Amino acid sequence: MLNPRDYIFTFRDAVALMRRCWAAVRGASLRDALGMIGLLAVGLALQIVFRLPADAIGLWLLAAAMLYWRLDGRYAIGVALVCLPAFPILSALESRKLSFNLVSAEQASIWAFFLLTIGLAALAVGRAPKLKRTKRSPSRSKR
Amino acid sequence: MLLLITAVVTHLPWFQLGNTLTHTDWIVWPDETARSLVFTWTAWVPFMNFGESNIQMSFALIATLWSAIIGAGLNFDTAVKLTFFIPIAVFGFVSPYLFFRKLAPGDGVAFLVAIFYGATTPFLVRQTAHLPIAFVYSVAPLLLLLLENALRRRSFGAWLAFAAAYIVGVCYELRIMFIMTFVLAAYAAYFHGKSLYKQRRPLAVGIALIIALSLFFLLPVAFGGFSAEISHFAKRGLFGEQFLDLAHAFALSEPFWTGGLPDRDFVVQPIHWYLWLIPLVCFSALLLPKRTANKHGLFFAAVALVGILLTKQSSVPFPSFFAWLYENFPGFSLFRDGSKFFILIALGYAGLLHSLFTSLAQGRATVRKRVVFGATAMVVLAVAGMNVLPLVTGEIGTLFVPRRMPTDYRVMREAIGGQEEYFRTAWVPRSSPWAFFSADHPKFDVAEAPWTGWRLFSGSDPTLSPERIMAPLERSYSDALLDASAVKYVVVPLRDAANDNDFFRDYGGHSDTAIRDWYVSRLQALPYLRSADLGTKEVAVFENDKARSYVAALDSVLAFASSENLEQKYAFATEALGAGFDFLIADDAKDVPAPVVDMLFENVSDRDLSSRGYEAGGETGELSTTLHEKHGERFFSYQLGGGALRVYAGRPGQLRQAAVPLASAAPRVVFETAVGDGDYVASLGTRIIPLAPAATPREIGSAALPLKIERVSPVNVIPNPGFESGLWSKSVGDCNAYDDQPVLRMALSDRVSAGERALELSATRHIACTGTTMPVAAGRRYRLEFDYQSDNAPQAGYYLEFPGSSAAPLQGRLPVSDTEWRRFSRAVDVPADASTALITVYSYADDGGKKEVVTRYDSFSLRELTPVASVPATTTDDSFVPLPFSAFATAGSGVIFTFGDPAEPSGNLIPNPSFEDGLWAETVGDCNRYDSHGDVDMLRTEGGSHGRYVLELGATKHIACTGPTLLPVRENSRYLFSFAYQSPNGLAAGYNLGFNDPDATVIQERLPIGDSNWHLLNRQILVPAGATSVSLTVYSYDEGGGRRIVTRYDNFSLSLLPDLFDRYYLVSRSAEPARLPSEVAFETLDPTRTLVRVRGAGAPFYLSLAEAYHDGWQLRFATADGPFSWLPWAKRERIGDERHFALDGFLNGWYVDPAAVCADERCAANPDGTYDLTFVAEFAPQRWFILGLAISTTVFIGSSVWVAGAFVRRRLKKKKRSSSSGHA
């Protein structure tokens, strides 16, 4: 039977993500600590040197974090699928001069694009070790 | 079967073989022309305009198919149905079905994906006009399938099938196949990367097959000298960045998709809401659990995202990425816009859908899974259904509605096709899709002239305005131009609204519903054309009965130093030399003996101005050199004094050679009368020139209009003309009351031009105005004069109306370039029904509304003019007279002439020309404000070619522009206009000069920039009649990609030139005169070869071939051919390339000197000392096509035979094995 949890990003997934984040902070290994320091440094560099806006810095950091900790790319894709339908909705609001200053329709589509790219990259990286293991276990493949 | 039914239902007209489908670019080829394509689709395409090298050689395959189908007794409509319409309709649905069924078994899933793929909006829009693109779009999944087969089976046959399909795709549309090549390579690497090395041999064979099968078009392109044409085609610059964005790319929504008839006015359409469901559904495939997410999903998601990134072109994010690829990635310059990359999104989404449906269909079928599957399938089917609905209902129009050829075109087809001699038909403004054409009767769209051989004759206006289109047909040399171009008929097509084909709307029809009648009336007025009766009722046909033969001998060709000012040179050639129109542009790389005509002072610039006057150099000929002066009968001067007024025609000579004045004809008296006291004026149209007493003749100027001498009445009819009695009105008027917050003021000023008071109008918001009325005599002529001045206004203005009269008012804006008082003067013809006049003057607020703009007026005058004499312009033609020329320069060397009195350089009219005093304006202008997201700026930076500062315009989006205040100019006068320009990263600089003449004449240019050096523009500008001021604007053009394009300007100059243009011509001859041979006959073998027989050639002559000039054309002797003489590198005896030239700037011409070339036995000598010569005029790159075709055909036939043999052998072996096992 298809479990909806396997298919869409549910509330449980969100809770699991938060637990994982908390666990990551609480029981951070040296690698995790280095990763977080590195992220902080990258974020500061993007802000100070390249003067990137906050959302761009967030996306770059998200990409780095997902690849560093091998997070499930579906998280990013799930958020992207929220941003995608936001475009026509925000466009309609903007055309009626009801836009909110929080985010524009164009910005939503840009986020969707980046989140999809990040998610896809994370999924692709996530597949790589699996392939290697498969290659290195001839006995399994024989079976 | 269901997919086939879907294809038929949605494309029903495409499957009806009896109808005709045509729309915009998709024209109807005449059956007989299409039937001959197997022979005529060569390296030279002769059908359109003046012929062109064939950079689309790959289309030869389709051309051959058309020929074969029509040759089999069918017609063109059927041929295109079988080769385009039906394959697109069928493959659009079937090809994705076959491919995705191969990826994972499941008819239902493959069916859903196929329905989605065949109903995407970019694919449907391509089907409305761009069928080659649509074809490759339709077969793209099939190519993936054949590649998959080849990689899995590793058989020669499978690779041959893939290679053949790949080449067919290339033959249809090279650019989309370029994209597909990367998709195919990525597919092979991603899915078969590990096994590629193992199957390197079949892979190498596959690649070798593709190369071998491509040679028929690769060889002529690589070695035939087409690289310049391809580079020109590829480097046209990016286009349409405003049409594409991330949202349209995500939603796979073609920007011009309306859900009905696609938009044709380049208005980006909103995205239909339901199209957003597609990316949602597709990308949700990536949310599949890891265990079910398959490799295909990731691959196609990557394809889709790359497609989105490229399709959005220059929109955010990464706005510069597309432009960077265009500049740097090999082959990417073929893509001027991102719309071609929609195919990647469609393929990617199709793969994602397949991945999603396959995952849902796998495993145990539960109710929940069925519901999700069913709902998703319904979404896909519903969206596809919405998209194809306009196809079924016919709302999409275009190629989905059968068309009927108007009877007139059928009649023309027979009338023109039935004539044997070679000629062209010129279509004004452009040809109908039904227009007849063939290799012997090419058609030529006059609107396309600037981009074809007639670019020299089209002027600098790049727009499609009706006046620009008609211009090359209305020049003094147009008759000769049409003769040389072999144009026999000039045709105005129908406004074919019945077939939804009213293309006149693009050529003036938007603003003028009677534009077709306008074109017809203009052609009727041309003296060299006469109405022709070809049996048409509505299509207007005109005949030029002197069209030159396809091949002709000429005895007169002049060499011009430049291709500019052709009207003046033509007038000189015909009037002074008795020569014809034919010319060549002097080129150091060529050696074509011809009399050299040098228009002295043609390209004069500030650098030619010395203390002795303007200098010009010329070359003297080895045989003879003559100097000609245009006597200037239309140039008037006068002398007033001693109770007499004399008017002279003709110009006093001012040319010197080595400080020695050259004697020229003296001006002659054309009018003389006794005069009394009072003021006299000369008037040319509305221009008034006061005549002042003088001891020597004084200049009036050149006049194309009748010159009138008039006496000025001493009575000024304007009351209180100098405001000495107060203001004209009690309160200031508001002449632009767009709101209720005017800030205006009126007062008397003590800053005067005469007397003690003047009018002072000031405006901070709106426009201040005041006026007064005066009595006038109906039908009489007056002189209006007043003084104006301002410290901060760019312009003053007046408005003169005649209350109660139906006549149009007179008005004008007057440039203010400094703070001095200026006097305005013009003639006024009072209408016959007027008895009073009302004059109003203005002060204009600036746009910001923060500055008080003050304009002062004084000394108004309106005085009646009484005619004294009139010198009609028609009686005073200009003429060329030989100027005694001291040939003390050595023959073959240079000679220097000097014009003018000791130099008195006229002042520069442009204020602050080098920006040393700041910028011209406080804010930068946006000269392409198509939306509210413009990003333009303006700075003053250090550097440049003159002084310390330069103007820097920056354009990231839209076009940055700026300019000085209006500049005062004199009508019919010539000015020298120059400036320096530079850009570190832009492709072009540009300027616009807008005159205030009644026709609102505009002179504009885009100046290509290929480096970061400073360049100097130097132009002579002729001010049109009626103009009193000109506005100058310079630009920085954005190029898409979000880059700030910087364009810098410096050192502007606009100064009046003395009367030296088109006045002196130096003609030098260095070779014996050409003479026509007794006879020239020709026989066209095919579009690339024409046999030419010349008889009785006793002296040099020029040979013309009525095809566009190309280096590939050669004139070789028709000597006996050896067995390998057809090879491209075979040596051929021919007229040297240095004697091959661009006749009239666009046709092929050769200089043939029989005495020099008739060595050995190549010519037949006649008893009278003349020669008979036989040539073949040949387009040499065709030989590469023939060689490539031979190789490609041999490889294809050989491979097919080998595959067939292998198949038979395998069958026989199988049969033998089964029979032997049966025995056992």
* Mutant choice from A93, A107, A109, A118 vs B, greatest count of B C-beta within 10 A: A109
Cross-strand bridge partners of residue B981? B1015, B1049
Check residue B590 and report its DSSP letter.
-
- List, for residues B890-919, the tens digit of each pLDDT value: 556 677 888 875 445 567 889 899 999 999
User: Looking at per-residue confidence, does B292 or B530 come out higher?
Assistant: B530
Q: How far apart are CA B44 and CA B348, in angstroms?
A: 39
What burial class does residue B1161 get, using C-beta atoms within 10 Å of its C-beta: 0-12 exposed, 13-18 middle, 19+ buried?
Answer: exposed
A113 contacts B287? CB cut-off 8 A: no
Closest partner CB to A77 (pick from B283, B295, B369): B283
Q: How far apart are CA B136 and CA B1152, in angstroms?
A: 48
Complex-level ipTM: 0.78
Closest partner CB to A109 (pick from B250, B292, B295): B250
- List, for residues B625-663, the tens digit of each pLDDT value: 888 988 766 778 888 888 888 888 877 777 888 777 787
Helix boundaries (H) for B673-732: none
Residue B842, pLDDT score: 96
Residue B316, pLDDT score: 80
Give residues with Cβ within 8 angstroms of B672, minimum separation 6: B644, B645, B646, B647
Q: Which residues of A touch B283 (CB under 8 A)?
A: 77, 80-81, 84, 116
The confidence band for A132, taking pLDDT boundaries of 50, 70 and 90, is: very low
Tokens of B257: 């998709």
Please give the sequence-ordered ranges of beta strands (E in DSSP) within B872-1014, or none if there are none. Answer: 880-883, 894-899, 925-926, 935-942, 949-957, 959-962, 967-968, 974-982, 988-995, 1002-1008
Count of beta carbons in the 10 Å neighbourhood of residue B556: 18
Minimal Cα–Cα distance from B117 to chain A, Å?
Answer: 21
The confidence band for A135, taking pLDDT boundaries of 50, 70 and 90, is: very low
AA identity, residue B702: S
Residue B658, pLDDT score: 75
Residue A99, pLDDT score: 55
Give backbone dihedrals phi and psi of B665, rounded to 5 degrees, phi first. Answer: -65, 135
pLDDT (mean) for B129-134: 93
Angular region, A111: left φ>0, alpha ψ -120 to 50, beta rest: alpha
Q: Which residues of A touch B189 (CB under 8 A)?
A: none
Cβ pair A106, B316 in contact under 8 A: yes
pLDDT (mean) for B411-436: 94
Q: Which residues of B touch A106 (CB under 8 A)?
A: 245-247, 316
DSSP per-residue letters across B1035-1087: EEE--STT--EEEEEEEEEEEEPPS-TT-EEEEEE-SPPP---SEEEEEEEET
B288 contacts A7? CB cut-off 8 A: yes
Residue B188, pLDDT score: 93
Helix (H, G, I), strand (E, B) or coil at B562: coil
Helix (H, G, I), strand (E, B) or coil at B756: coil
> Please, which residues 306-335 of chain B have a Cβ atom closer than 8 Å to chain A?
308-309, 316-317
B286 contacts A123? CB cut-off 8 A: yes
Helix boundaries (H) for B321-463: 321-328, 342-361, 367-393, 407-417
B61 close contact with A: CB closer than 8 A: no
- How far the first Cα of chain A sits from its last, in Å, is 26
B276 contacts A109? CB cut-off 8 A: no
A80 contacts B247? CB cut-off 8 A: no
Cβ pair B861, B713 in contact under 8 A: no
pLDDT (mean) for B521-547: 94
Q: Is the pLDDT score of B747 beyond 50?
A: yes
- List, for residues B757-812, the tens digit of each pLDDT value: 999 999 999 999 999 999 999 999 999 999 999 988 888 999 999 999 988 899 88
Q: Is the pLDDT score of B971 beyond 80?
A: no
- List, for residues B1192-1205, the tens digit of each pLDDT value: 999 999 988 988 88
From B995, B1013, B1001, select the one nearest B1054 (Cα to Cα). Answer: B995
* Mutant choice from B269, B275, B283, B372 vs A, greatest count of A C-beta within 10 A: B283
Q: How far apart are CA B936 and CA B934, in angstroms?
A: 6
pLDDT (mean) for B75-104: 94
pLDDT (mean) for A41-50: 84
- List, for residues B1092-1144, the tens digit of each pLDDT value: 999 999 999 999 999 999 999 999 998 766 777 788 888 888 899 999 999 99
- List, for residues B477-496, the tens digit of each pLDDT value: 999 999 999 999 999 999 98
Q: Is the pLDDT score of A109 beyond 50?
A: yes
A88 contacts B273? CB cut-off 8 A: yes
- List, for residues B869-898, the tens digit of each pLDDT value: 887 765 555 678 888 776 555 556 677 888
Residue B390, pLDDT score: 94
Q: How far apart are CA B257 and CA B240, in angstroms?
A: 15
Cβ pair B735, B824 in contact under 8 A: no
Give backbone dihedrals phi and psi of B1055, rounded to 5 degrees, phi first. Answer: -135, 145
Tokens of B391: 């196809």
Give backbone dihedrals phi and psi of B422, rounded to 5 degrees, phi first. Answer: -75, 135
Q: How far apart are CA B482 and CA B444, in angstroms?
A: 11
From residue B167, alpha-carbon distances to B170, B211, B553, B1200 in Å are: 5, 9, 44, 15
Q: How far apart are CA B628 and CA B1068, in angstroms?
A: 11
Helix (H, G, I), strand (E, B) or coil at B347: helix
Give backbone dihedrals phi and psi of A22, rounded to 5 degrees, phi first. Answer: -65, -45
Tokens of B353: 């859908």
